[in-house]
Structure 1
Amino acid sequence: MSLAFRPITHLRHVGIAVPSYRQAVDFYQNVWGLTPVAQDSGVTFFGTPADPEHYILRVREDRQKRLDLIAFAADSPTDVDLLAERLIDRQIKIDRDPDKLSTPGGGYGLRFFDPDGRLIEVSADVELRPYRQLEAKESIPQKLSHVVINTTNVHATKAFYEDVLGFRLSDWLGDFMCFMRSGPQHHILAISQAPSHSLNHISFEMRGIDEYMRGTGRMIRHGHRPLWGPGRHGAGDNTFSYFLDPFDNIIEYTTELEIVDEDTWEPSVYDPASPDTQDQWGTGGAMTEVMLPIMLKTRDDVGLWTPSPM
């Protein structure tokens, strides 16, 4: 198999479980701005009218909060099968062999565990939904932007996503956070050194600066003060406003994430001590004031090395 095997095209969705399901559905629909596209007993699939992905967030009822899975897209069922062969060759634990999917949108996919025990899904041929461009001032997420994970060995976890899934390095923040891409978007995944294997945050992209600020304002009006932001990062050049959902998951509104030329891009190392690295605008304050203790969780997430119930 070619060393240039790059099966991942983009980020599809993230699945979370929560102990207060109705509260979560109300929050993500009526405050965060997502649209329920399918529901079953104790689970809601959220999409957005601006994205052809069938759904971008899955919320499931459970006794404990947990990250269920992170789902990426592949270009074809053949790539899914080739990925399965690669996982078997490298003795990586597969949770579900390649097969037809029964979740909304169907498709063909498999599930496996990354080196930290996180459940990863890769799928192809998922049915697309009709979509439209968001209107000016329509301050709802237009797609899932990226997800950031914590690990106790950032270099080993980075190597897995590069060597097995074909991700490319965009930039480093110091020597403790790397930004990984599968296409021209600067990153769809970032990996951070931490005392635990855990979810760092989930990021949702807004239509533009105005809509990003309006969404930030809506959260504030609903009593959710930003953990950090509004501001603009150095690496990725994207805006940020971080919040806690009702279950202490960190979620982010962002926009204008950098698009790179993959033929010419050379990774940089951003100095974490530089004010412009943390926030080019200088409006969000220092990360260490609030965000760092929350991001650098000391306990592993519940559910590592455990299949998702659905």
Structure 2
Amino acid sequence: MTKRLVAHLRYAALAVPNFEEERDFFTNYWGLTEVHAEEGVSYLAAEGSTEPFILRLRDDEKRIDLVGFAVDGRDDLQALADKLHTEGVQFVHEPQELTGFGGGYGFRVFDGDGRVLEFSTGYQTRTARKIREREPIPAKLSHVVFNSANLNDTAQWYVDHLDFSISDSLIRPDGGEMMHFMRCNPNHHSVAVAMGPHHSLHHLSFEMRGIEEWMRGAGKILRSGARMIWGPGRHNAGDNTFAYFLSPAGNTIEYTTELSVLDEENWEPHRLDISQLSSQDQWGTAQAMSEIIARESFNDIDKGLFVAPPA
């Protein structure tokens, strides 16, 4: 198998109009740690991750600012930049020293729908600690899911330009695709793309230590007053647990655990019919998926497409 140049998912950066409320929710309830703050910007880390931060919040009109990925060294980073230039991908900026919190060396591009992606290496890491038994806080950022009005074109962009692979897909009974789960390493998915009425954030997913911590975390968030929109249950694609909530800004956020790690040499993608209960929830413990539940994660139209964030 040819080596991929994108190593792993690092962080997501969101702009939110209720910045202080959102920061309070993620630090006091969701379980992230603020490690750096500037005027109107907060950098939040997961205690179990060596990433300097896994979520950046910025005070502004609601949008996805960017999603960051790691690359293993400057040689790979330059090779990726050269590849994307050859393929006509639109750059936000060329490889350079990064001046934001955590530093590093990297570049940014627009994906096919206009979302900003950052690729970096050589950034500062933090000392992770082992999440304690029954401690209901995230260990790391698991995956990011986008809504796209051009599902297959969006997924193909990640396959063609970033060498992502489709691990599994959700389909309608007539065979039409509804969602693609995509990987850049043996983890079942770091990015997924869902069919939606417009381009927007579908959800951010945060990995918990295990089932016990995931359940305790879900209970903790329910007691915070946040609304669970789907769960608790266990997906088929990825075999991971799920509990989806709405943040104060109206973004869908998930506690998950036990996402599959694949034997990539022998893995064959599945096409899972969404009309079958086990395709969405193996346990059958969550509400049946419906248009009403799906609509909760359509989110607001992303107004940041093909517009570079100011930070």
User: Is TM-score (shorter-chain normalized) higher than 0.5?
Assistant: yes
Give the match's secondary structure for 1:287.
coil
Distance 2:210 2:3 in 1: 34
Name the residue aligned to 1:125: 122
Letter in 2 for 1:35: T
Query: Aligned to 2:273, which of 249, 271, 274?
Result: 271
Query: Aligned to 1:105, which of 97, 102, 107?
Result: 102
Give the match's secondary structure for 1:164.
helix
Query: Aligned to 1:259, which of 252, 261, 281?
Result: 261
Give the match's secondary structure for 1:227.
strand
Query: Aligned to 2:157, which of 147, 157, 160?
Result: 160
Over residues 55-92 of structure 1, what are the superposed CA-to-partner deviations in whole Å (9 max), with x where a residue is unaligned? 00000111x11110011111111122112112221221
Letter in 2 for 1:36: E
Name the residue aligned to 2:32: 34
Distance 1:206 1:215 in 2: 8
Query: Aligned to 2:59, which of 58, 61, 64?
Result: 61
Structure 1 residue runs of 5 or longer lacking an equivalent are none
How many residues align? The count is: 306
Q: CA deviation at 1:226?
A: 0.8
Checking the alignment, whether the CA contact within 8 Å between 2:89 and 2:110 is kept in structure 1 is yes
Checking the alignment, whether the CA contact within 8 Å between 1:12 and 1:72 is kept in structure 2 is yes
Give the match's secondary structure for 1:176.
strand
Name the residue aligned to 2:13: 15
Matched, 1:305 2:297: no
Over residues 17-43 of structure 1, what are the superposed CA-to-partner deviations in whole Å (9 max), with x where a residue is unaligned? 111211111111001110001111111
Pair 1:290–1:207, CA change in 2 (3 A):
farther
TM-score (norm 1): 0.96
Give the match's secondary structure for 1:263.
coil
Give the match's secondary structure for 2:162.
coil
Checking the alignment, whether the CA contact within 8 Å between 1:5 and 1:166 is kept in structure 2 is no
Checking the alignment, whether the CA contact within 8 Å between 1:212 and 1:255 is kept in structure 2 is yes
Checking the alignment, whether the CA contact within 8 Å between 2:145 and 2:194 is kept in structure 1 is yes
Distance 2:84 2:266 in 1: 30
Give the match's secondary structure for 1:162.
helix
Checking the alignment, whether the CA contact within 8 Å between 1:31 and 1:218 is kept in structure 2 is yes
Structure 2 residue runs of 5 or longer lacking an equivalent are 172-176
TM-score (norm 2): 0.95
